[in-house]
Amino acid sequence: MNLGVISKCHLIAKNKPALVKKLLQFFGVVEPEDWQKYYAGMEIAFRRTRFEQSDVGAITAWLRLGEIEAEKLDCPKYSKSKFEKAVRSIRTLTVLPPEEFEPQMQQLCREAGVVLAFIPSIKRCGSRHYVNAYQWCSAVVKSP
């Protein structure tokens, strides 16, 4: 899947420095060790299925895409009561087709101070199994 973040290129010695630089920029870190500390250490923040091959790099790229989308949107301070009300409303929307309920879900969440981003899955990510990934992403992006 091409999400337009990093150009596809052959992984040969002469391309490695440029690719590493692009990856570090994408993840918002200066050194590979910074990625290791921040992203690789967060494996406990998301669940993986035992039955599907998944890759920490793919998972963290998928989560980073969520962070980037969340950073683009502005929303008010989180309100637990508004979010609980939004969740009740969202439950009634799930009978609608996704193209109708997704924007409504996003709006209800945003009004409660929660950014809901829909990020396509990435190969070897197993993202359909990450039911808590959004909660983690939201907490990281919006934390003070």
**What does the alpha-carbon distance between residue 68 and residue 45 come to, in Å, rounded to a whole number?**
18
Contact predicate 47/54, CB 8 Å: no
pLDDT above 60: residue 89: yes
135 domain residue, yes or no: yes
Give yes or no: residues 57 and 85 share one domain.
no
Q: Percent of the chain, pLDDT > 70?
A: 67
51 domain residue, yes or no: yes
Give yes or no: residues 95 and 24 share one domain.
no
82 domain residue, yes or no: yes
**What does the alpha-carbon distance between residue 40 and residue 17 come to, in Å, rounded to a whole number?**
21
| 81 or 75, which is more confident | 81
Give yes or no: residues 57 and 18 share one domain.
yes
88 domain residue, yes or no: yes
Query: Could you tell me the sign of the dihedral formed by the alpha carbons of 15, 21, 26, 32, in that order?
Result: positive
Total number of domains in the chain: 2
Q: Could you tell me the residue range of the domain that residue 78 belongs to? A: 74-116
